[in-house]
Structure 1
Amino acid sequence: MTDKQIKFLGWLASTLAILMYVSYIPQIIGNLNGNKTSFIQPLVAAVNCIVWACYGFFKKDRDLPLVFANIPGIIFGLIAAITAL
């Protein structure tokens, strides 16, 4: 694959990851409306995203698509976990 194709693939994967974590919004709304769900999966997802974001940010050649893809997972994962309690 060319460098251009690899870069496109990175940003495509980032976009899909963001969409995956934005999908927590209906769960959050349900939690706030009293239809509580388990907090475990979104909490584990948030921790996973924290680790990946740190990896992408602190490695020698920063991987910003990786960092940006995981920030929504941190935010929405924590919100979903907290509202499920």
Structure 2
Amino acid sequence: MKSKLHTLVGSIGATIGLLVFLAYIPQIISNLQGDKSQPWQPLIAGISCFIWVLYGLTNEPKRDYILIVPNTLGVILGILTFITSL
């Protein structure tokens, strides 16, 4: 029961994490259209996500894909948002 609850909570957290990082897409589009925004929050978010990806990859005894998947998207979109906002 505890393992199922852990998996459920992790899956909900991963889904919410994906939604948080997908929310960067309108900002990227706006940046590309010339409406630049501040670059620092997405850069720091991308760095934070990168650390969580490393943590998930090095987790023992097995990799933690509930952390790896949404945070990989966070790295990509966070860095892309940073670049387009310059």
| TM-score, normalization by structure 1 | 0.95
Q: Compute the displacement of 1:63 (Å).
A: 1.1
The CA deviation at 1:64 is 1.0
Structure-2 separation of matches of 1:16 and 1:8:
12
Residue equivalent to 1:13: 13
Structure 1 stretches lacking a partner, 5+ long = none
Q: Which amino acid counterpart does residue 38 of structure 1 have in structure 2?
A: Q
Cα shift readout 1:11-63 (whole Å, capped 9, x = no counterpart): 11001000000000110011001000011000000000000010011121321
Unaligned runs of 5+ in 2: none
1:65 to 2:71 alignment: no
Task: Give the 5 Å matches for 1:3-82.
Answer: 3-61=3-61, 62-82=63-83
Q: How many residues are matched? A: 85
Percent identity, aligned pairs only, is 39
Alpha-carbon offset, residue 2 of structure 1: 1.6
